[in-house]
Every structure is written in C-alpha cells, then in structure tokens.
C-alpha cells in the first residue's frame, strides 16, 4: 500500500484487550501493524517496533520506550548504539535515546535508587500509532500505578511521543494526576549521536553559555565552538539556542532543538571511562557523542496537580 492512498492520518488507538492468549508481539501486531509499522522480538527477545516509512527507518523497544535506530531516507544512521549493550527487561540499553526520568544522574537523596531514574527500566505500553505521508507517529506511556512504590510517591501519567520522518521529534510529557505538587522533577533525552570520528566534529550554539564541568565541579564558559579531545561531561545552563554538531567526516550537520528545557548535557567518556563500562566498547568513544536535552541540576521542575510538563528534542540532519 502506498502512502498516496491515505487521505486522513490512520489512527490505531490501543484498546486494552481482555486477558487473551496472544503474546505481546502478536497482540501488538494485531492492534497496530500497518504498512510502515511491524513488531518483532528484537535483541534479547525484547519486543520492538520496527518502522519502515519512505521517509525514515527506526526501531523502538518497549523496554524504556528506547529508540535505538533512526535513519532518514538517503542518510546514514543518526544514532549510535553500543555493540555491547545489554537487552534485558529492566536494564538500560546503551545508545540510541535513553529516557532519563524523573531524575537525572544519581538520585539526590537515595543511593538505593537507579542512576537516571526508572523510566528507562520500565516496559512502556504502546498507546497509538498514526501514519501519514510524511511521518509515522507513536505514543507510548506508563503511569504511577505501574511503578514500584519504592521509587516514588507521586501520581502521574507519562507519555512519550515519537514523530519519525525526515526529521525526528521526541517529546516526553508528564501529567501530575495527584493532588500534591511533583517536586524537583529532572530528566534528560540522553541522545547518543553516531559520528565519523571524535576528532572530526565541532559543537556550536553553546558558546558563551555557562557550564558545570562534572569532572572538576567547576563552572565556566567558553567563547569558541566545542571540540572534544578528552573525557567531557558538561551541563550547560541556560541554553536558549539550537545546538548544532558539524561532522566533517560524514559531511553533515545535525541540529538539536530543545523545548521545555534550559539545560543541555554534552558527554563523551573518552578512553578510561569507556574501559570501565561493560556495555560500552573500549573504542566506542571515538564514534559517538551525547547531546542531551534535559531538565538537569538547577533546571529541575515542579509540576503542580493536573499540570503537564513537556520536554522535547527535534533532530534534523542537513
């Protein structure tokens, strides 16, 4: 079926089925498969949604609502994936776009809670698939009733919308469904970009912006575009401009536009930290860099009862 036949977007809304015998993949296929969307057991037999749209290919795992691949038509893959990543329910996937929520980094008060929150450890529900000539649009979600009560007392509904096409837009929306404010909510769309070589890129748009160097604890700013030649772990704040990465080797510019966020994280583990991460190849630092649209450090948010806070990242390649 070609896309020109579509007059209106086709909307498949997931209607929870009763307890049936079909396994997750069959159930998803029955509810949502269409010309650009299919479901299969991916790495580690985890359920994943494969998108094969004329404008772009993509792969999303229900584990963490984790986008592991986005490749626009006539482009190389834009996201970096670790060859050593774990693919196990409840474990973070290394690469693509991990969703860090409802805190970024270590939990501010509790060592027993996972780094970067629990959203990337959850198996999310697929809620809708919309297809048009330009994009395939998915919404995944979960709510506080599905969470381990040890993690949080807040009541919420989390939605993650992906618009996959010539450009990629990912949008994390949180609605406070309780009657208490949700305090100090942090997050990061922790995007791993695939690059030709760490020596061939330059990051623009952060010149003059203050950043916390997490390796030294010092805050400073630089007036020139950022090149990376050592371990880099910086939280820039306040960021108001689109961040651009120029990749001489791949002859492409990747633009990262954030909304609902004033902090951007730039990370490359370099040599020693790469060796210390079991799910990260020793040489992996040479072909990746993270540019993360975040609510980190002083940019965490309070979400009032019945309020919705949205953070989005729009990525374009030229």
Residue numbers annotated as active site? 190, 292
Residue 225 CA to residue 184 CA, distance in Å, equals: 31
Binds ligand TA6 by CB under 6 A, chosen from 267, 284, 309, 313: 267
57 lines the binding site for ligand TA6 (CB under 6 A): no
Burial 153-184 (b: 16+ CB within 10 A, else e): ebbbebbbbbbbbbbbbbbbbbbbeeeeebee
Shortest gap between Cβ of 272 and ligand TA6 (angstroms)? 13
The answer to whether 190 touches 99, Cβ cutoff 8 Å, is yes
Rule CB under 6 A: say whether 37 interacts with ligand TA6.
no
**Span 61-100, contacts to ligand TA6 by CB under 6 A:** 92, 98
- Report in angstroms how near the CB of residue 198 gets to ligand TA6 at its nearest: 16
241: helix, coil or strand? Answer: coil
- Cβ proximity of 194 and 294 under 8 Å: no
The whole-angstrom separation of Cα 76 and Cα 235 is 28
Q: Which of 265, 288, 311, 315 binds ligand TA6 (CB under 6 A)?
A: 265
Q: How far is the CB of 167 from ligand TA6 (least distance, A)?
A: 23
* Sole residue written with tokens 């061939």: 200
**Residue 105 or 260: which CB sits closer to ligand TA6?**
105
3-state secondary structure (DSSP) of residue 287: helix
How far, in Å, are 34, 82, 288, 297 from residue 103 at the CA level? 35, 23, 24, 9
Joined together, the tokens standing for residue 234 give: 């910086």
Out of 38, 54, 105, 260, the only residue in the binding site for ligand TA6 (CB under 6 A) is: 105
Considering only residues 13, 17, 34, 115, which one is a binding residue for ligand TA6 as defined by CB under 6 A? 115
Size of the site for ligand TA6 (CB under 6 A): 12
Which residues have CB under 8 Å from 5's CB, separation 6+? Answer: none
* Residue 141 binds ligand TA6, judged by CB under 6 A: no
CB closer to ligand TA6, 115 vs 259 = 115
Which CB, 214 or 262, lies closer to ligand TA6?
214
Q: Give the footprint of ligand TA6 on this chain (CB under 6 A).
A: 92, 98, 105, 115-116, 190, 214, 233, 265, 267, 290, 292
């Amino acid at each position: 079926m070609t896309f020109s036949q579509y007059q209106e977007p086709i909307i498949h809304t997931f209607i929870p089925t009763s307890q049936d015998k079909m396994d997750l993949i069959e159930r998803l296929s029955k509810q949502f498969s269409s010309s650009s969307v299919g479901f299969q057991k991916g790495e580690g037999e985890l359920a994943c949604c494969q998108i094969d749209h004329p404008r772009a290919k993509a792969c999303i795992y229900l584990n963490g609502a984790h986008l592991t691949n986005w490749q626009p038509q006539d482009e190389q893959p834009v996201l970096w994936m670790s060859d050593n990543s774990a693919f196990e329910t409840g474990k973070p996937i290394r690469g693509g776009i991990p969703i860090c929520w409802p805190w970024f980094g270590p939990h501010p008060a509790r060592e027993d809670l996972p780094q970067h929150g629990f959203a990337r450890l959850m198996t999310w529900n697929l809620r809708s698939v919309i297809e048009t000539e330009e994009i395939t649009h998915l919404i995944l979600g979960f709510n506080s009733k599905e969470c381990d009560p040890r993690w949080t007392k807040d009541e919420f509904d989390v939605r993650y919308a992906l618009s996959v096409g010539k450009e990629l837009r990912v949008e994390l929306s949180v609605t406070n469904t309780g009657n208490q404010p949700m305090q100090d909510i942090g997050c990061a769309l922790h995007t791993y970009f695939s690059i030709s070589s760490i020596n061939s890129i330059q990051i623009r748009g952060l010149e003059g912006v203050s950043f916390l160097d997490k390796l030294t604890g010092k805050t400073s700013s630089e007036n020139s575009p950022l090149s990376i030649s050592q371990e880099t772990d910086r939280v820039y704040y306040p960021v108001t401009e689109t961040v651009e990465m120029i990749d001489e080797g791949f002859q492409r510019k990747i633009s990262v536009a954030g909304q609902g966020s004033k902090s951007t994280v730039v990370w490359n583990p370099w040599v020693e930290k790469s060796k210390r991460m079991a799910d990260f190849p020793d040489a992996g630092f040479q072909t990746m860099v993270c540019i993360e649209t975040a609510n980190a450090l002083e940019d965490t948010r309070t979400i009032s009862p019945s309020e919705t806070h949205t953070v989005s990242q729009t990525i374009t390649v030229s």
